[in-house]
Amino acid sequence: MQTIIEKIKQFDLRGRGGAGFPTAAKWEMVKSACAAKKYVVCNVAEGEADLLRGEFILQKFPDELVNGIKIAMETVGAEEAYIYLRKDLFRKFKLQLAGVIGDLPIKLFEKRGGYLAGEETTALEDIEGKRIEPRNKPPYPVENGLFGCPTLINNIETLYYVSRIAKDEYKKTRLYTLSGVVKNKGVFEIAEDYTVEKILQETGNWPEFDFFVRVGGGTSGEFMTSDQLRCAACGDGSIIVFDRSKVSVTKLLEEIIDVFHSENCGKCVPCREGIYRIREMIRNGKIEEKNLDDILAVLSETTFCPFGKCVAQPFASLYKKVYLENGENKN
């Protein structure tokens, strides 16, 4: 009989938190770690705007989620687990989850921080009651995680599908959030290899107007024009549609950099100074392309945690694919 790790490996289940790391490999590392105590953390931080899958799973499949956490604990040898919940989700579902958890050693934790607290090591710092900022890596959480113990951290969708795999009910699907200017907003479970184009068509959301989309995350997603959508919807599985005739790309650029500026922890110089300089260019209405490219390159390659890379992707793609190629909306 196959073990659950072998089943996960067979289906090539990858983390649904954005990084796409092989789930089986992470489980094997925690399982093989020699330690007196281990932990499992289910990450439901969801700092990305317009991402609805966490609420979807908590509302419709809380039993599956808790079962997935239980399976993870038994497999890696963890004595205790935490469900790390965004504030609104904690308040809305804490009683329901407590009922499903029963006497299992699974604790609910209300997220204190903002967008950055969704990063796995930052979440650990939050649970430990420390300052909400990322840790140095290595060591990685699989070696030295919560309270210094080997820790398995998985996204809520990943653990939901672990439960489905254990029951032989997994059909290589994933959850997509469709939002923006679409007819049918919501969460859809569709084949994981569908292109963005096919997802929009299958859900009845292909626009009848000139549009562009943000794919992979509500804040950190990549912008694409309507002729670039024959690719998989990566990252967090979010697809947001924008009406080209009704949105100011300049204003959208400003909104993006304002979010990253306000959520920046200020720990590392490239992120702190780079985001400030981009914000300054946007506010002054003078985007110098060479300077912008240099700053985005530094953010992508030198920042302390993935936050800087999250800035580079949406900003570069919106500016180059939409703003420069199509021009700003003049209406």
- 22 and 131 share one domain: yes
Closest CA to 234 of 243, 248, 244, 224: 224
* Full residue range of the structural domain in which residue 297 is found: 249-326
Mean pLDDT of 8-22: 88
pLDDT of 48 above 80: no
pLDDT at 331: 38
pLDDT at 249: 87
pLDDT of 119 above 90: no
- 254 and 209 share one domain: no
Query: What's the CATH code of the domain at 65?
Result: 3.40.50.11540
What pairs with residue 22 in β-bridges?
14
Six-digit token string for 31? 């399982």
| pLDDT top residue among 114 and 293 | 293
pLDDT at 220: 81
Sheet holding 151-155, edge to edge: 106-110, 80-85, 39-44, 151-155
- 281 and 158 share one domain: no
Is pTM, for the whole model, over 0.85?
Answer: yes
- 209 and 257 share one domain: no
Counted domains in the chain: 3
- 76 and 125 share one domain: yes
Residue 139 lies in a domain: yes
- Sign of torsion over alpha carbons 103, 104, 110, 112: positive
Residue 331 lies in a domain: no
- 135 and 238 share one domain: no
User: Rounded CA gap, 214 and 196, in Å?
Assistant: 10
What pairs with residue 238 in β-bridges?
177
Query: What's the CATH code of the domain at 232?
Result: 3.10.20.600
Mean pLDDT of 17-29: 89
pLDDT at 39: 98
User: Rounded CA gap, 289 and 295, in Å?
Assistant: 10
Residue 26 lies in a domain: yes
